[in-house]
Structure 1
């Protein structure tokens, strides 16, 4: 009959096909030619019905009025009772549909359904049509088994002509079988994919699966339920891919009349394309171009495309993909991308474009986004994109960090520090941004009362050295200068100052030592290069000149400044600090410069020292630094103590400027002073005046004693 039908004109074939359809309901399963994937369910009616009593049902159907056999009454009986009736010819198509609509126990098996459908075959097609138009009931069970059996008893018996008739196929798959398709099984899908379908018939069946409520596409922000995802993936694998992979159809891959990738996908896949790996699509169609169908792809496929070498070749290609990713899908997209992009070498500008998408859309500066979520973004989703980081993303990166707590900031910077491939210009930008962050609206907001230098070292994360002195000081708010300078130990300060390029402005170093309370300890313990000593001396010189404690003064000149004094210059020597020195400090200075100082190669001369001496000692009445009532200042060896070896520069005018004759003459007879004047070459007028003063003080003084 099938051979005859193939040569019958189309206007005469429908009647013959209808006859053929009826005839094909008669043969047993073993007489039906099937593909190996189309298995059958064996039925042993004797065994199945051995313990079933259908007499009550039989009696009910014989005597009940037609209007009494509606679904409310029919549902009082089981499918097995119907199947085990001697004949079901008395059931009309509506009653068969009503039985299908009854709530059935979960243990109704395929064998029962097959026996039931076999006995109702006369009215089955019409019953299925009526059932498909009913409001579906969520209480129906075993629909997958029902569909399996319906494919056995009806679809497997379709003629080759029916299988190639899209209208006929539509009447079944988008009509009679529609209620059962959401529960389609792997067996049915595999069986259908091996039928002798045309591409048009295949598309009709695919459309039927699309119309069944499987899962929404990528436009929905909420992820699909796992069972819906599994069902759609199953349809793709067992039906769509299986059929399109065949080489024995009239139009393998259904490529005919498809002018581009979009048309081919829309016609042959529909939403099931979202279950296909892009590699599958390329294998099925060697002219397939993924970039042409991006709007049709799922989130997973957009990630797969993104990690395909060469797919994301520039920022515009990134934008093309990311425009299809909704904000609510952003985290899921980058969760997947971060796992797959590790082995893909993206260019710097592509990385930057992806990071920009995160910074622009993930609202990481919004405090409604928790710190924990921000941490997930940095540590998981952003991490693979940090290699070869572009300088352009540094500023927005720090804008986000400025709104986050310090733990987030440190975690993010630690992550950056682990990337060895970050270019130098980007590292410099990160370094400068870190320094700038210390100044911000909340200066040093992450400082926790530890050493300021330690804080800087830890906060810079190796992106650059400690800043030069000018920058270092600019990071400290003025009200906190003393606090932060004194948070540093002398050894830390010494280590910092010894670093190359730290000393960019000598004058700034005095800001440190004007606030540093442990300067004596620093000078005692820290050895610094000569250029630093030269810069430090003007800062600490005043500290050596203010004390009235001889022990402390000795420590300053004998130990702390011992290696610094060679850098004395005229400015320091003639400074207000020197001219306002305490008497004991001044006296120590004169002693050290007169006995322990080498002027050769120095920036000062003996004359310079004497110039300071005569300025310091100038007095209108009482000589400076002489107080008979003060045990520390009552020595009459005044010239020795306050001028020393520099007495050789003394002029007569200077002598007169040191104080009144009444007091000065008391110094002249002091043995130490006499010895000093005896040993040094002085101007004659100075010696004459000094001798005169001696005799004024002691007329009986003997020059020969």
Structure 2
């Protein structure tokens, strides 16, 4: 049955006499559509690929298969210029289809490099036909491109790389794929400019080849060097189609005793796109703490909420981030921590360590960083499981839930005025809940000072919670607003003064370190300045909390002097409150 066609039988028997070009023609002829003929040709060619011209056969096969692309193109004008040798740099005046359908044997490597720089739009079959015809100078053209600093961009870069992958990279033997010099020649040189545009097809083919760990790492480093030239979609494509497939299949051989080395050499610039959980899946011996300096703020937050995160892990992350909080992204870390806390079950002990470390860090942070962290700390407080005590003793802090506070609050009218910058002194026309539930990033220190002196009624639902939410949102200008109030002689009175002082005590005074509490200049700044106008309204909570802190005798006396200056501004009840909740307890507990 297989030999019923005499012409087919004769062709198969004559394979030894056919040239590579004739063998390619046999495969594409209509009579050669049967699988057994195609397989017979490849069986013959692959028995001795070099001697029987497998590479030339494939090139001619590409040329024959691409002839359909040339049927509708008339390359007369281009052909005339090519024949006359008078292109004179006009390579980009013609489309790639015209080149593919012309006779281009006279193109030099420089000419081909110039055509590839044009980024002409064309299909893969068209580019394949053209580059097959210019195969003789293709490597030299790629070498010329490699000696420039340019990156190939535009619609054609991905297609060209696909075709080069078929014509050249796919022809590399397993031995060559394990040879550092060969990989360097191709990926650090000839293909470098095209790598930012690598298609999923190219990456999948590359991942499926028998790269060694070392040559995979060479390839990965070249993609890493091009990371900034890729958009986020392209970066994830390299991760999903090359890095993860290779390491999932062959990566066990790439494991290193050093977690830093393993991360750098196997992920490079793409490591920030991978979850910590995935690192551990690929390499159970991976130590995130050892490699904490390479983790992004988001990965550090993920590490803290993983079940494996014990006290030493959480502290290691905070030690790293707080050593240089702005540069290492402490604020972003806390923001991501809030996000993860809504999805993970974090233990109470972990929350306690997290809040302790945040409280220790806040006093030392730049104001803009502290502002962001304070607001997110408030959000994180809402995720603490019931019964978990974060702050104990005299200074139990009050959590403030934005969702609860803002339920039913309409801040639209206020928001419109804030956005337009036309408050014009109307700060006291709106209740504190409206401010708390609005976006107040545009408020200045002067504006905040005006709001704090409005004497909002504490009878509105959740007033202290609302003040805490509002002052957390406006934390960035809080100190400056207090400084403005300190420069006036007036005392802040009214029903809201006590509540505001409680919240400031929680957000700022409680953040002062023991060293600062013994520093006369710090105490003077706060009690003789920023808090002075609020002291006549100090609550029992504020006084108890202050008394529980490690004031020295000298700084206690400074604080007491400021309360004494406000004695005549207090009611008799308030005077006795200061005596019973601050003075007597402090002196009773001091030797």
Q: Which interval holds the TM-score relative to the shorter structure? A: 0.5 to 0.7
Query: 1:605-644 to 2 correspondence within 5 Å?
Result: none
Aligned to 1:75, the other structure's residue is in SS state helix
2:358 maps to which residue? 354
Give per-residue Cα distances to partners, 1:59-102, cap 9 Å, x unaligned. Answer: 222222xxx445x22222222111011x3222222211111122
Distance 1:145 1:356 in 2: 55
CA contact (8 A) 2:322 2:361 kept: no
TM-score normalised over the length of structure 2 = 0.58
Distance 1:133 1:21 in 2: 34
1:53 maps to which residue? 74
Displacement of 1:327 in angstroms is 0.6
CA contact (8 A) 1:214 1:229 kept: no
1:26 maps to which residue? 57
Aligned to 1:26, the other structure's residue is in SS state helix
Displacement of 1:318 in angstroms is 4.1
Give per-residue Cα distances to partners, 1:603-648, cap 9 Å, x unaligned. Answer: xxxxxxxxxxxxxxxxxxxxxxxxxxxxxxxxxxxxxxxxxxxxxx
Distance 2:151 2:508 in 1: 67
Counterpart pick for 1:269 among 248, 267, 270: 267
1:126 maps to which residue? 140
Give per-residue Cα distances to partners, 1:438-465, cap 9 Å, x unaligned. Answer: 9653566359xxxx9xx7679979999x
CA contact (8 A) 2:153 2:197 kept: no
Distance 1:183 1:43 in 2: 28
1:176 maps to which residue? 190
Structure 2 unaligned segments of length 5 or more: list them: 1-46, 399-444, 453-462, 472-501, 511-522, 547-559, 581-591
Distance 1:349 1:135 in 2: 49
Counterpart pick for 2:299 among 298, 301, 305: 301
Aligned to 1:311, the other structure's residue is in SS state coil
Give per-residue Cα distances to partners, 1:555-584, cap 9 Å, x unaligned. Answer: xxxxxxxxxxxxxxxxxxxxxxxxxxxxxx
Query: 1:499-648 to 2 correspondence within 5 Å?
Result: none
Displacement of 1:177 in angstroms is 0.6
CA contact (8 A) 1:352 1:393 kept: no
2:246 maps to which residue? 243
Displacement of 1:239 in angstroms is 0.9
1:76 maps to which residue? 93
Structure 1 unaligned segments of length 5 or more: list them: 1-15, 31-40, 216-226, 418-425, 465-470, 486-492, 506-705
Aligned to 1:91, the other structure's residue is in SS state coil
Aligned to 1:192, the other structure's residue is in SS state helix
Counterpart pick for 1:212 among 214, 220, 226: 226
CA contact (8 A) 1:75 1:102 kept: yes
Go from structure 1 to structure 2 and tell me whether the alpha carbon gap of 1:349 and 1:62 turns closer, same or farther (over 3 Å shift): closer
Displacement of 1:270 in angstroms is 2.2
CA contact (8 A) 2:394 2:541 kept: no
Counterpart pick for 1:284 among 282, 285, 290: 282
Go from structure 1 to structure 2 and tell me whether the alpha carbon gap of 1:74 and 1:349 turns closer, same or farther (over 3 Å shift): closer
TM-score normalised over the length of structure 1 = 0.49
Go from structure 1 to structure 2 and tell me whether the alpha carbon gap of 1:20 and 1:267 turns closer, same or farther (over 3 Å shift): farther
Displacement of 1:122 in angstroms is 2.0
Aligned to 2:193, the other structure's residue is in SS state helix
- When the two chains are superposed, the root-mean-square deviation of aligned CA atoms in Å is 4.9
Distance 1:460 1:392 in 2: 13
Go from structure 1 to structure 2 and tell me whether the alpha carbon gap of 1:439 and 1:277 turns closer, same or farther (over 3 Å shift): closer
Distance 2:164 2:178 in 1: 19
Query: 1:370-385 to 2 correspondence within 5 Å?
Result: 374=371, 376-384=372-380
Distance 1:118 1:204 in 2: 28
2:106 maps to which residue? 90
Larger radius of gyration between Structure 1 and Structure 2: 1
Go from structure 1 to structure 2 and tell me whether the alpha carbon gap of 1:344 and 1:60 turns closer, same or farther (over 3 Å shift): same
Does structure 1 residue 445 correspond to structure 2 residue 543? Answer: no
